[in-house]
Amino acid sequence: MFHYTTKENDMTVEQLLRERWQAGKKTVHELRMEKGVKDVEGEPLDWRSPLPTGTRLTFEFPHAPSTYESDHADHLDVIYEDEHILAAVKPAGIATHPATPGEKGTFMNQVIAYVREQGGDYAEHVHRLDKGTSGLILVAKHPIAKALFDRLLEQGQITRMYVAEVDGEMRRPRGSIHYPIGRDRHHPSKRRVSPSGQSATTHFRVIRRTADSTFVEAELETGRTHQIRVHLSHIGHPVKGDTLYDGSETPDGNYRLTATKLSFVHPFTGELTTVELD
């Protein structure tokens, strides 16, 4: 369930859902059939009646549960949360979501446990992080938020920043890496720079250098699988711990790569929203 206050005069519920938010047909149909859009008194609204600016709406989703098994949420580090989304930290070494039904021990198992403790039953990740990568993941708390944030991600309107420790001394203080990325025909889970791959751009700047490594901040302009890992390896500076792409080994086997910042214009409030690790 979430609340929304209309910002335009004479907009109908139908227009808000179908035109402004472009919510999925299934979601719209279920909301209509279940009379899931109500006023402040809890009364169902006529979807075709124009509403004045400032009308307070309540959206309820009676049949929109997520199917993840609940796991312990004791150690879940939630950095940001509102009615629509939350951003929490995925530790390195665990998967973002289950690979098979009933699997536990992933980030989303912890998230759904947290959401259910608060009386909710829906949580779906907007993007993913590799198992060896740590950091911020954005999670939608209802189906309309999922649709809107998926669209923002697809359109490149969610800024995602990472910090990586890479092997060697990176001499260029900043730059951009423009290489297309495709599948590696010789390794099922590996990607490589390929002329026939999808276009990909990563911006970077050096933060500091050590005797055998360089710390860089990287920003994704596109979101290809393993993009930062592939790009940094291709220019001769693989992420430490990322042995798949020729990085040096780390004691714990995890990558020295952390998603540190998310920034976007919130589709429900219109405000620039930034979530950042300390």
Q: Is the pLDDT confidence value at 278 over 90?
A: no
Looking at residue 90, its pLDDT comes to: 98
Of 1.10.4030.10, 3.40.50.300, 3.30.2350.10, 3.40.50.720, the CATH number of 160-259 is 3.30.2350.10
Looking at residue 74, its pLDDT comes to: 83
Residue 61 pLDDT level (bands cut at 50, 70, 90):
confident
Per-residue pLDDT tens over the stretch 163-205: 999 999 999 999 999 999 999 999 989 999 999 999 999 999 9
Distances (CA, A) of 85 to 11, 105, 144: 24, 22, 11
Q: How far apart are CA 102 and CA 255, in angstroms?
A: 27
Per-residue pLDDT tens over the stretch 18-60: 999 998 888 899 899 999 999 989 999 999 999 999 999 999 9
CATH 3.30.2350.10 residue ranges of the chain are 77-155, 160-259
Contact predicate 239/248, CB 8 Å: no
The secondary element (H helix, E strand) that includes residue 28 is: helix 25-33
Kindly list the catalytic residues.
130
CATH T-level assignment (fold) for domain 77-155: Pseudouridine synthase (3.30.2350)
Per-residue pLDDT tens over the stretch 78-95: 999 999 999 999 999 999
Mean pLDDT, the chain, rounded, equals 95
Looking at residue 160, its pLDDT comes to: 96
